[in-house]
């Protein structure tokens, strides 16, 4: 249970950091600019780099993979449940903070 909470909080923090913050030496700003050199966000991946909900969805997959790897009894079904559960909880935190 503790690992699940840590995965949710890590997903939330990583997504918010990549999408909205400058980062050390403007690293995250440069990463977003590489995906969107024109600044008009006309491509789907350029819009996704500015969206903490989008980034949170995909980083939740990473943390779900780590969680299911820690327990050999977990299978693909548990991976999908963990992925969507972590992404959903991270989304709730994002929307709660934005209010």
Angle between helices 27-35 and 2-20 (to 10 degrees): 70
Burial class (CB in 10 A: 0-12, 13-18, 19+), 88: middle
Instruction: Record the pTM.
Output: 0.83
**CB–CB of 36/49 below 8 Å?**
yes
Phi, psi of 53 (to 5 degrees): -70, -40
pLDDT reported for residue 85: 96
Structure confidence by residue, pLDDT tens digits, 48-96:
788 899 999 999 999 999 999 988 788 888 999 999 999 999 999 999 9
- Residue that is written with structure tokens 């403007």 in the block: 26
pLDDT reported for residue 48: 76
pLDDT reported for residue 39: 67
Structure confidence by residue, pLDDT tens digits, 14-55:
999 998 888 889 888 888 888 777 767 677 777 778 889 999
């Amino acid at each position: 249970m503790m690992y699940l909470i840590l995965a949710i909080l890590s997903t939330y923090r990583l997504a918010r950091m990549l999408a909205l913050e400058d980062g050390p030496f403007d690293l995250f700003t440069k990463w977003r600019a590489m995906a969107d050199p024109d600044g008009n966000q006309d491509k789907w991946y350029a819009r996704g780099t500015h969206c903490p909900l989008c980034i949170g969805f995909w980083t939740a997959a990473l943390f779900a993979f780590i969680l299911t790897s820690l327990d050999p009894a977990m299978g693909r079904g548990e991976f999908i449940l963990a992925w969507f559960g972590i992404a959903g909880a991270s989304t709730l935190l994002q929307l709660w903070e934005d209010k």
